[in-house]
Amino acid sequence: MAFNFGCLNSPETVSSALATRENSLGLAIDPFLAPVAMVATQDIVLRQYFRERIVLGQENLPMQGPVLLAPTHRSRWDALMLPMAAGRRVTGRDCRFMVTVDEMKGLQGWFLHRLGCFPVNQSKPSLTSLRYAIDLMADGQQVVVFPEGTINRTEKPIKLYQGLARLAQLAKSQNIDVQVVPVGLGYSEVIPKACGRASICFAEPMKVLETGREAVKSFNAELSEKMHAAEQAALHAVGRLKKAP
């Protein structure tokens, strides 16, 4: 399915359009709650829960331009580790998470709405969600998409949905030069425990060069390999692997 959002406008017009869409959808980052949440999660919760938080490959994080972060998904702690390692204190911008519709419900949804997250129906992504993600990238922001779709604690090979690759293709069709960064997360235990260790590893960015179904398959195959390698490095850092990858 092809989506045509029209020609891109100037950065000022894009920012204005993004602000308008955020306000209409109720997705704008709360200027008070976001800094409080950052201090609470990064300076208190993560420091108190994990005795060590290791960041590898941070030099691979683009400091400007549109970015799609593609992390493995092993725990709910992933959503705190990513902003710690790639958020506004490091890159000067927030991590804008694309999450499932169910996660945006109730009290949790109230907070997520105000922290820059936005919902997507995995089985049938809406045009609104896709357009909003494109607006964010056109504005030079970084969007986080878990390409596995759900938390996976098994050791089975990484299996990716096509959503992230198609989103990157869509951005390319709109002349948005987005970089896709494979990310691996690892914890000293399968289910992270208090006083354990946590690690996150960023691999070198990738770019979508072609369009079409076969290009998606090829891109996903390479992305899954790089995510796996990054995850192996993260697991080695926390002592889950005896040999370096």
124 within domain boundaries: yes
* Residues 178-212 pLDDT 10s: 999 999 999 999 999 999 999 999 999 999 878 88
Phi first, then psi, for residue 187 (nearest 5°) are -130, 155
What is the percent of the chain where pLDDT is above 90? 64
220 within domain boundaries: yes
Which distant-in-sequence residues (6+ apart) come within 8 Å of 3 by Cβ?
127, 130, 131, 170
Look at the chain and count its residues: 245
Structure pTM?
Answer: 0.89
Domain CATH number, residue 138 = 3.40.1130.10
5 within domain boundaries: no
How many domains does the structure of the chain reveal? 1
Number of H helices, E strands in the chain: 8, 7
Rounded Cα distance between 157 and 167, Å, is: 23
* Residues 111-149 pLDDT 10s: 888 888 988 876 666 777 788 899 999 999 999 999 998
242 within domain boundaries: no
**Full strand arrangement of the beta sheet holding 67-71:** 50-56, 196-202, 179-187, 67-71, 142-144, 95-100, 118-120
19 within domain boundaries: yes
87 within domain boundaries: yes
3-state secondary structure of 41: helix
Q: Which domain holds residue 226?
A: 15-237
Contact (Cβ atoms closer than 8 angstroms) between residue 34 and residue 116: yes
List helix spans (H) across the chain: 11-25, 33-38, 46-49, 78-86, 106-114, 127-138, 163-173, 213-237
